[in-house]
Amino acid sequence: MGECACHPEIDTPYQCQKHQIYLCEECLECQDPDLYCKFRSSCPIWFMGKKGVEDW
């Protein structure tokens, strides 16, 4: 677990593999969806955003 990039007081297990940053549930969305990411096929952040899942 790590600290959210936008909210350092929040520990979170969600890590963006492309940018090597942690994101809390409030910030959980792909930071650069238009740029290529080799981790995209296994990225839960991108998958949930693409499928339109609002609430985890």
Confidence bin at 55 (pLDDT 50/70/90): low
47: its two tokens: 């998958």
Confidence bin at 18 (pLDDT 50/70/90): very high
* Cα 25 to the center of its chain, rounded Å: 8
Q: What is the pLDDT of residues 25-37, one digit of tens each?
A: 888 888 888 889 9
DSSP string, 30-47: -S-TTS--TTGGG-HHHH
Look at residue 25 in the predicted model and tell me its pLDDT. Answer: 87
For the chain, strand residue ranges (E) read 2-3, 11-12, 15-16, 21-22
Least confident of 1-5, 9-13, 17-21, 29-33: 29-33
Domains of the chain, by residue range, sit at 2-51
10: its two tokens: 């929040």
Look at residue 4 in the predicted model and tell me its pLDDT. Answer: 94
